[in-house]
Chain A
Amino acid sequence: MAEITAETHQSQPRQPSPGRMPRNWSEIGSRLVPGLAVVTAMIFGAVFMVAAATDWAAARAAFSADGVGGFISEVRPGIGRAGIAYGALFEGAAGLGYVNPSSIRAETFYVTLLPLGERSLVFIPRNLIDTIVRTIPFILAGLAVALGFKCGLFNIGAEGQLYAGGLLAALIGFHPAFRGLPSLIHIPLAVAAGIAGGLLWGAIPGFLKARTGAHEVINTIMMNYIAIRLADWLIKSREPVIMLDTTASVPRTPFVAQSAMYPYLANTSLHFGLFVALAAVWLVWWFLYRTTLGFEIRTVGANPSAARYAGMSVSRSVVLAMALSGGLAGLAGAGEVLGVQHNLSPGFFAGVGFDSIAIALLAKTNPFAVVPAALLWGGLINGAGLMQVRADLSIDVVKIIQAFIVMFIAADQIVRALWRIRARRRGEEVVFARGWS
């Protein structure tokens, strides 16, 4: 059985942290490893940007004509484009930009922080808010995967669970039978349906794992594909019409009723789901570290045979962890339907599954650390649009950066070697997942 690891009990808050200041680079650096992993990944991403932005035929011609100098002069605009790309990525993500205010669209509200001649340092709240809105599902889906990891289970099925949750939430949201319900009932009902959908979708692979030993990695992936096909059919089917809005020009479900929508906060696109997500973070932490069920799940994750010896039911923990993990993902799906999109179209959740794995790894399965990790993801994805416009680079470069982030988090020795930080202590480790049997 394979086990891998990162900090486990470091993340357990009851351990008193030493109250002294870190003394040297290695010590400070150790705490910065996740941040440095992100920076390193961005540097690697820049290489791809330069590669894409450079006219290699011209560069080759310049190299044969003028040698290295000529080559560099051809590559330089590419480097410039990478710079522009990251500037735009940051501006799109955090709202802080160094731009000519007249280039900002008239209807966009912004604050000039520091006028610097023609260009100014501006803050565009809208961008930051959009990033936070993007972050909400990542928090929940990241938590879902992290919870699975705590039990030694690798839930690659968040995407399918999001569909299961989103479909049911949408159904409760738009179905005529539920129209006219007060929000206080309609919203919880739709949310509960979303959780139930995810719960079921997660519990099936959990049950198969506990009962037959079939590996959850393969089964959750299969459940993803099944969910995608199922959503596709439910939403697109015309004979009979099941969840299709026949009046729409694109295949999607009807809009959910006003009474089922998450309320917006202060007239922005920020919605109630933010509080749901933050509450879930605390709840998951409390569940894992303060309840007997959480203790069982963590023990099964850390050492299943010791769990069995201690009288715990390994199968029950596995099913429970997978179900709760699925439920969290289902909640994420419901939130997107009820808070952002207000309907569901096929393909809407594509890629969220892998994103949530990355977030859980980045957070080293710590529920609280999921929040900043998800914020980073939300920022990267929200900023990518502006990056594409400004630097004319495919948004897929963000996926490459994300892959490198996960890689450097998983193999933090690479980061430590690059940034000259001492090797990690043995024992600073957590179980992530296991082999086939």
Chain B
Amino acid sequence: MSPRPLRLTRLHVFAALFVLLGLALLWWAPGAFEADTISRLNFGLGRDAPGWGAPTRLTLQVIGGLYLASGLLALVNRWPRVSLAALVLSGLLIFPAVLIGAAAGKQTNVLTMLAESLRLATPIVIGATAGIWAERTGIINIAIEGMMLAGACFGFTSLFFLEPIMPGATNLVLLISVLVAVVFGGLMALLHAWLSIRFNVNQVVSGTVINILAIGLTSFVRREWLLSTRAGRITLPNIAIPGLVDIPVIGDVLFNNKPIFYMMFVLLILTHVILFYTPFGLRMRAVGEHPEAADTVGVNVFFMRYLNTTISGMIAGLGGAWFSLETVGGFDDVMTGGRGFIALAAMIFGKWTPFGAFGGGLLFGFADALGTRFQILNVPVPPQWLQMLPFLTTMVVLAGLVGRATAPAAEGIPYEKQ
């Protein structure tokens, strides 16, 4: 047996990175923190909230050691399964490590941090769910961003014009506005479907068209009609779910939120059930993997693709409403800020499954929330660096995972019937 060439695999790159990171932590922690510095992590508000005081330096050193160990283990390349698990485990420890480092000598509420992550994950998870609907039937949807933007803009436009007409009926107006956002997201998606199904336009190009169009259209609409002193600043109301909200510790965090936040969970469950347990979902998956096979048993490939892409856009429109109607109460140019693209990364991370995408979305939500948390804790890091975090996370995650995630086989390939 001849010696195999030493080929640099992704695993090795990551392992080397982890070794370096571990060494850096081990070297940096003793210099940066006194031995008796404590990072206090609270679970809840107030003085009596349960919490855990972690000795900053020791914890960071332990985590650094874990990094070093798992990296070395992977480099040795003996027990692939064990070392992969170790890598993933220590990879996840980056978050507590950063948090503990940031909270040195102070205290921080882990629970609100998690709640904030979930909240910031909402548009990403909804966007990823939207992506799943289109991509499972074989239509690449890089236009989630544009569809969200359209939803955000037109949802707010509806609020802006209806509010003076229907005074007093704020909740009804908000409901209508969310529906308008959903419809406009769907319309953009319909255009995407039309271009890519009817005209076989490359789906990445078609998606880019939608994104450009959405930017132009929404800033035009804002400039022409929405500039006014009459700023709405109304947002969707909090809804406390009776009973559940009284659960200690997590009740208030999870069950006293805004409607689109809840919708995220509804959509996740619904998408999962439809995709894997209904005839419609079976057909969706078949169309995305092998459209000819679906066609020969009488499944209408074009119809499925139009329908699902439109549904995808409607979901993205709802995600757009999260920005303008649930969070800000207004519309700014390009307010989605790349969350639609991050959603795609979350979808790929989750291997095109709803709950996987939820995990991915949570990861990015956490990276986002970390930024805010740093500012609260007064960590002397430029805010721009923190704003880079979600984007950097996306790149690292994609580099680490995309090769192992397989997209639906027929994705991006126009279906041609003779």
- A–B touching in complex (CB under 8 Å): yes
Known: A2-B202, A233-B384, A436-B407. A399 touches B220 (CB 8 A): yes
B203 CB-CB contact with A under 8 Å: yes
Query: What residues of chain B lie closer than 8 Å to A411, measured between beta carbons?
Result: 195, 199, 201, 206
A88 CB-CB contact with B under 8 Å: no
Docked-complex contact A437 and B407, CB < 8 angstroms? yes
Bound Cα distance from A404 to B348, whole angstroms: 30
Q: Which of A219, A357, A398, A437 contacts B208 (CB 8 A)?
A: A357
Distance of B145 from chain A, by nearest CB (Å)? 9
B338-366 contacts to A (CB < 8 Å): 338, 341, 344-345, 348
Docked-complex contact B202 and A214, CB < 8 angstroms? no
Docked-complex contact B212 and A354, CB < 8 angstroms? yes
Bound Cα distance from A351 to B220, whole angstroms: 15
Interface string of A179-206 (1 = CB under 8 A from B): 0000000000000000000000000000
Q: Which of B142, B213, B394, B407 contacts A403 (CB 8 A)?
A: B213
A202-235 contacts to B (CB < 8 Å): 208, 211-215, 217-219, 221-223, 225-226, 229-230, 232-233
Bound Cα distance from A1 to B202, whole angstroms: 11
Query: What residues of chain B lie closer than 8 Å to A236, measured between beta carbons?
Result: 384
Query: What residues of chain B lie closer than 8 Å to A217, measured between beta carbons?
Result: 142, 204
Interface string of B369-410 (1 = CB under 8 A from A): 000000000000010110110011011001110110011000
B233 CB-CB contact with A under 8 Å: no
Query: What residues of chain A lie closer than 8 Å to B219, measured between beta carbons?
Result: 394, 396, 399
B106 CB-CB contact with A under 8 Å: no
B175-217 contacts to A (CB < 8 Å): 195, 199-206, 208-209, 211-213, 215-217
Docked-complex contact A407 and B392, CB < 8 angstroms? no
Bound Cα distance from A382 to B371, whole angstroms: 39
B412 CB-CB contact with A under 8 Å: yes
Q: Which of B199, B208, B385, B412 contacts A1 (CB 8 A)?
A: B412
Query: What residues of chain B lie closer than 8 Å to A230, measured between beta carbons?
Result: 384, 388
Query: What residues of chain B lie closer than 8 Å to A1, measured between beta carbons?
Result: 412-413
Residue from A232, A396, A406, A434 whose CB has the most chain B CB atoms within 10 Å = A396
Which residue of chain B lies nearest to A224 when distances are taken between CB atoms in the complex?
B338
Query: What residues of chain B lie closer than 8 Å to A225, measured between beta carbons?
Result: 337-338, 388, 391
Known: A225-B391, A226-B392. A432 touches B212 (CB 8 A): no
Known: A52-B224, A212-B402, A437-B407. A406 touches B412 (CB 8 A): no
Which residue of chain A lies nearest to B223 when distances are taken between CB atoms in the complex?
A394
Distance of A293 from chain B, by nearest CB (Å)? 23
Bound Cα distance from A226 to B392, whole angstroms: 8
Q: Which of A222, A393, A436 contacts B140 (CB 8 A)?
A: A436
Main secondary structure on B side of the interface with A: helix
Known: A217-B204, A396-B216, A399-B220. A436 touches B402 (CB 8 A): yes
B289 CB-CB contact with A under 8 Å: no
Bound Cα distance from A225 to B201, whole angstroms: 27
Interface string of B224-249 (1 = CB under 8 A from A): 11000000000000000000000000
A6-57 contacts to B (CB < 8 Å): 48, 52
Interface string of A345-366 (1 = CB under 8 A from B): 0000001001001100100000
Docked-complex contact A410 and B209, CB < 8 angstroms? yes
Docked-complex contact B338 and A4, CB < 8 angstroms? no
Query: What residues of chain A lie closer than 8 Å to B206, measured between beta carbons?
Result: 410-411
Which residue of chain A lies nearest to B387 when distances are taken between CB atoms in the complex?
A229
Query: What residues of chain A lie closer than 8 Å to B406, measured between beta carbons?
Result: 437
Q: Which of A4, A52, A233, A397 contacts B201 (CB 8 A)?
A: A4
Docked-complex contact B216 and A400, CB < 8 angstroms? yes
A70-127 contacts to B (CB < 8 Å): none
Query: What residues of chain B lie closer than 8 Å to A52, measured between beta carbons?
Result: 220, 224-225
Distance of B267 from chain A, by nearest CB (Å)? 22
Give the number of chain A interface residues (Cβ < 8 Å).
57
A328 CB-CB contact with B under 8 Å: no
Known: A229-B387, A399-B216, A402-B212. A208 touches B398 (CB 8 A): yes
Which residue of chain A lies nearest to B214 when distances are taken between CB atoms in the complex?
A403
Which residue of chain A lies nearest to B199 when distances are taken between CB atoms in the complex?
A411
Distance of A259 from chain B, by nearest CB (Å)? 31
Query: What residues of chain A lie closer than 8 Å to B140, measured between beta carbons?
Result: 2, 435-436
Distance of A33 from chain B, by nearest CB (Å)? 13
Docked-complex contact B403 and A435, CB < 8 angstroms? no
Distance of B322 from chain A, by nearest CB (Å)? 19
Known: A218-B394, A222-B395. A433 touches B204 (CB 8 A): yes
A414 CB-CB contact with B under 8 Å: yes
Bound Cα distance from A410 to B402, whole angstroms: 28
A3 CB-CB contact with B under 8 Å: yes
B368 CB-CB contact with A under 8 Å: no
Distance of B243 from chain A, by nearest CB (Å)? 41
Docked-complex contact B10 and A212, CB < 8 angstroms? yes
Distance of A103 from chain B, by nearest CB (Å)? 25
B411 CB-CB contact with A under 8 Å: yes
Docked-complex contact A213 and B223, CB < 8 angstroms? no
Docked-complex contact B209 and A432, CB < 8 angstroms? no
Query: What residues of chain B lie closer than 8 Å to A138, measured between beta carbons?
Result: none
Query: What residues of chain B lie closer than 8 Å to A5, measured between beta carbons?
Result: 202
Distance of B209 from chain A, by nearest CB (Å)? 5
Known: A212-B399, A434-B412. A222 touches B394 (CB 8 A): yes
Docked-complex contact B208 and A4, CB < 8 angstroms? no
A64 CB-CB contact with B under 8 Å: no
A258 CB-CB contact with B under 8 Å: no
A140-156 contacts to B (CB < 8 Å): 154, 156
Bound Cα distance from A402 to B413, whole angstroms: 26
Docked-complex contact A237 and B382, CB < 8 angstroms? yes
Which residue of chain A lies nearest to B142 when distances are taken between CB atoms in the complex?
A217
Which residue of chain B lies nearest to A233 when distances are taken between CB atoms in the complex?
B384
Bound Cα distance from A237 to B341, whole angstroms: 28
Query: What residues of chain B lie closer than 8 Å to A215, measured between beta carbons?
Result: 348, 398, 402
Query: What residues of chain A lie closer than 8 Å to B414, measured between beta carbons?
Result: 2
A269 CB-CB contact with B under 8 Å: no
Which residue of chain A lies nearest to B205 when distances are taken between CB atoms in the complex?
A410
Bound Cα distance from A46 to B384, whole angstroms: 40
Docked-complex contact B216 and A403, CB < 8 angstroms? yes
Docked-complex contact B402 and A406, CB < 8 angstroms? no
Bound Cα distance from A213 to B348, whole angstroms: 12
Known: A354-B208, A410-B209, A432-B205. A214 touches B341 (CB 8 A): no
Docked-complex contact A397 and B220, CB < 8 angstroms? yes
Docked-complex contact B220 and A221, CB < 8 angstroms? no
- Chain A interface (Cβ within 8 Å of chain B)? 1-5, 48, 52, 154, 156, 208, 211-215, 217-219, 221-223, 225-226, 229-230, 232-233, 236-237, 351, 354, 357-358, 361, 393-394, 396-404, 406-407, 410-411, 413-414, 432-437
A-B contact pairs, 13 of them (CB 8 A): A213-B403, A214-B403, A222-B391, A399-B215, A400-B216, A403-B217, A410-B206, A414-B199, A435-B140, A435-B203, A436-B348, A436-B411, A436-B412
For the complex of A and B, 8 pairs with smallest distance between CB atoms: A2-B412, A4-B202, A399-B216, A435-B412, A394-B223, A403-B213, A233-B384, A396-B220
